[in-house]
Amino acid sequence: MENSEILKKFLQNLQQVPYLASKNLFKVASHFLEMEKDKAEFFCATLLKMKDCLVKCQNCFVWKEKDSDCVYCKRDQSVICVVETWQDMLAMERAVEFKGAYHILGGAISPLDGVGPENLNIGSLVERVKKNYIKEIILALNQTPEGEATAAFIANRLTQASSAQNHIIQITCLARGVPIGSSLEYLDKLTLNKALSERRPF
Amino acid sequence: MENSEILKKFLQNLQQVPYLASKNLFKVASHFLEMEKDKAEFFCATLLKMKDCLVKCQNCFVWKEKDSDCVYCKRDQSVICVVETWQDMLAMERAVEFKGAYHILGGAISPLDGVGPENLNIGSLVERVKKNYIKEIILALNQTPEGEATAAFIANRLTQASSAQNHIIQITCLARGVPIGSSLEYLDKLTLNKALSERRPF
């Protein structure tokens, strides 16, 4: 059974799906095998239709329906929250009452993975800043070496662009410190150091 | 974005895939959205072709290619290993040098989930035993209350069937005891009790 060419091909396809442990691939294949044929066809039709209908907004790079306007680009465009991925944006939307706009970079600068600034939506962010009146850019990148390097790179580019136009933009980042619900004894050294050096009045 | 009907539909579909945590659904959807269109089409084509090409062997219920013989039914049919699922069978094949045949039940008896003996491939197992010369049935069911109850039920049915034909079949089950690589101190009480009561000469 494990020799079936078509099963092998499907397993190879499944292998590329993120967050599926390889030990579960056979179980997922089994799920699709046991499924009624019309349900499998519906699954595929939905998948392909979704790919057809959804496009990235060319202003903020959030996925939107092809024939409708981007809901985020209708919001306050003077504050832009810059995030690495769509999932990060969704996490922000779920957690906070943010009324501004977004800009999705599509990842972080990572020379080891061959991702340079030209592979990310950084140029279009600078263009947005040049063309529109923007008060604040929130750099909500991940707290990883790549995220921090990317944030520094963007902050630099934005400062150059805005000073060339004599228009000062506030560039902020998310507060760093002790996460809510955590015990100090389990916290990493870097976070504790940051939390101490950036302490604030009680 | 989260309001897109087609995205919602796709997420609902994904939700039914086993071993995908709900917090990862957006990430998986994002994977398919970012994927090139022809790759997505290839994924769907492979999935549907797999469903078309693979059928369950009507003798042992292992998945096989429609136009070819079941490889497991060509093996020694006098020893049949009874397992709950296809995945259990694959685990057996990966782990042991077993040369006999299989019989996949399709689950275990579980009244709470509405699974009775008539929903499993038990009748066909009894038929196999009646029609063929079978020396041994290995009940390789899971060590869960459902698995053990199902094993007891099958053993009973097989004993009746074989004694009616005056043909004695050996019914065995997998050895139970201390798993290799485990420390006694972390072992559950039932396993330790079983291992002690079924102890064997060193």
Name the residue among A45, A80, A43 with its Cα closest to residue A62. Answer: A80
What CATH number has the domain spanning B71-173?
A: 3.40.1360.10
Sign of CA dihedral A15, A17, A19, A25: negative
Per-residue tens of pLDDT for chain A, all 202 residues: 556 889 999 999 999 998 888 888 988 999 999 999 999 999 999 999 999 999 999 999 999 998 889 999 999 999 999 999 998 998 888 888 889 999 999 999 999 999 999 999 999 999 999 888 899 999 999 988 999 999 999 999 999 988 888 888 899 988 888 888 888 888 888 888 888 888 887 8
Rounded to a whole number, what is the distance in Å from the CA of A58 to chain B's nearest CA? Answer: 14
Compare CB distances from A4 to B26, B65, B87 and report the shortest one's residue: B65
Contacts of A60 (CB under 8 A, 6+ apart): A70, A72, A73, A80, A101, A102, A103, A104
Give the start-to-end residue ranges of the domains of chain A.
Answer: 5-55, 72-173
- CATH classification for the domain delimited by A72-173, as one of 3.90.1580.10, 3.20.20.80, 3.40.1170.60, 3.40.1360.10: 3.40.1360.10
Radius of gyration, alpha carbons of chain B: 22
The complex scores an ipTM of: 0.80
* Helices within A16-141 (DSSP H only): 25-34, 37-53, 86-95, 123-131
Nearest-CA residue of chain B relative to A52? B37
Tell if the CB–CB gap between A85 and B30 is shorter than 8 Å.
yes
CB–CB of B48 and A44 under 8 A?
A: yes
User: B53: distance to nearest CA of chain A, Å?
Assistant: 8
Are A97 and A79 in contact by the 8 Å Cβ rule? The answer is no
Rounded CA separation A46/A145 (Å): 38
Tokens representing residue B130 in the block? 């009646």
* B47/A10 touch (CB, cutoff 8 Å), yes or no: yes
Put simply, the answer to whether A1 touches B64 (Cβ < 8 Å) is: yes
